[in-house]
Amino acid sequence: MVLIQHQQQQQEEEIVRRERGKKGMRVGKYELGRTLGEGNFGKVKFAKHTDSAKSFAIKILEKNRIQDLRITDQIKREIRTLKVLKHPNVVRLYEVLASKTKIYMVLEYVNGGELFDRIATKGKLSETLGRKLFQQLIDGVSYCHDKGVFHRDLKLENVLIDGGRNIKITDFGLSALPQHLRDDGLLHTTCGSPNYVAPEVLSNRGYNGATSDTWSCGVILYVILTGFLPFDDRNLAVLYQKIFKGDAPIPKWLSQGAKNLIKRILDPNPQTRITMAEIKEDEWFKQNYTPTNPDEEEVESDDTSSDDEVLTIHEAPLDIERNPESPSVINNAFQLIGMSSCLDLSGFFENEDVSERKIRFTSNLSPKELLDRIENLAVQMGFQVQKKPGKLKVLLENKGQKTQASLSIVVEVFEISTSLYVVELQKSSGDSAVYRQLCNKLSDELGVQQSEELLTNLIVKDGNHTS
């Protein structure tokens, strides 16, 4: 299979070489130029239309990488979503081309790069400029909501800025449409980026896509005006506690209007959080506000193929179509966090061998029940257990027998909210194989699944998505 894919790629490259003109490679009517960005499953290249000389950005996706990373549905979702959206503050998808091995998404070219890079290199923006960009962000996001599209991964990296200081929202790979709502009218897939995700998304009880997007917009506003994140910590448990409390430090030098709006958006209670419509009525927001009108006219395009045709990869059914008896598909890092999972999440932050890492998982069980179950299992396996408030020390002593290994583990429970806890297992010393055996038995005891292969794919995918 790999050989066939390699041969197909060689054949395609030969075709592209034959079409190469004086200025570079060509794909259809587009002449490719410099690389604008690169990820795990493709590149984004600058391109010029050979007839009109207009500039475009072409996202080139490797079909075999899409299949390997199991993100077929994510790519199809992005294509379907962008075909619906026509707004000055949303990156436009003009057409989709395909070959045997590649997909070419012809996108609007935004020459200013990510808003993240602008803040990282030059620091916070003035309130005047920050308000202007935030107004455009709200216009773009509320337009998406009106079209039934919830972004679910709004962050500075997914907001581009052009030469005229106008923003363009991009990367709809994790977006949700009305058909993704369950019978309760809520979304249930836990996704997003750590520092921008709303507390109700982490609670694993269902959430309103518009309300959670509003929270993420509030985080973006905070960073634009201050130059730093409202909720940040390297330790996941501490980060979640900060998000659930929603008590972001507000700098004194911000205007009172900006302070008030940030507090109303970063309200940890989704029921009382300010809505998009209410944001547009806010006095600070309305200063010099000119609403951006959608571009509803049809765009001429040579694209006649559907996203199913260009991908030609078997698509997993959506959540609402999947057999309820089949296992759930994990979409990104935060679905792991929302589940009771004994998967090792520290790989997102540390470069140690998997058997040496801390292992964290979430649970809705009470701290007492969690610690009791862990203690009972450890005793059954021959470990000694020392109890301390909110934690256990699990020991296995080497008694001189060749088959007896030593091990020392500290187990601690952190409260995230009144019904959500993080359990952390950290090996202090001893045999890694025995440590892994304990973790496997613990995952069985608590009814969760563990898969290092799935974790590896997930880390690759999440790293690409957030790059």
Please state the residue numbers annotated as binding site for ATP: 59
String of DSSP letters for 99-110: -SSEEEEEEE--
What residues are paired with 188 via a beta bridge?
A: none
Catalytic residues, by residue number, are: 153
Question: Which two tokens mark 378?
Answer: 């450890």
What residues are paired with 431 via a beta bridge?
A: none
Q: Where are the beta strands (DSSP E) in 162-268?
A: 167-169
d(CA 343, CA 455): 7
What sign results for the dihedral spanned by CA atoms 129, 133, 136, 141?
negative
Residue 70: left (phi > 0), alpha (psi -120 to 50), or beta? left
Tally Cβ neighbours within 10 Å of residue 118. 19
DSSP 8-state code for residue 316: P
Binding residues: 59
d(CA 157, CA 170): 9
Question: Which two tokens mark 175?
Answer: 């977006």
Which of 421, 370, 448, 359 is CA-nearest to residue 204?
421
d(CA 14, CA 9): 9
Which of 249, 219, 112, 109 is CA-nearest to residue 155?
219
d(CA 279, CA 379): 56
Q: Which residue has the tokens 């194989």?
A: 433
Angle at 320 between CA 317 and CA 321, to 5 degrees: 40
Which of 421, 431, 429, 425 is CA-nearest to residue 412?
425
Question: Which two tokens mark 339?
Answer: 């589940």
Which uninterrupted H or E stretch holds 151?
none
Single-letter amino acid code for the residue at 346: S
DSSP 8-state code for residue 50: T
Tally Cβ neighbours within 10 Å of residue 252. 6
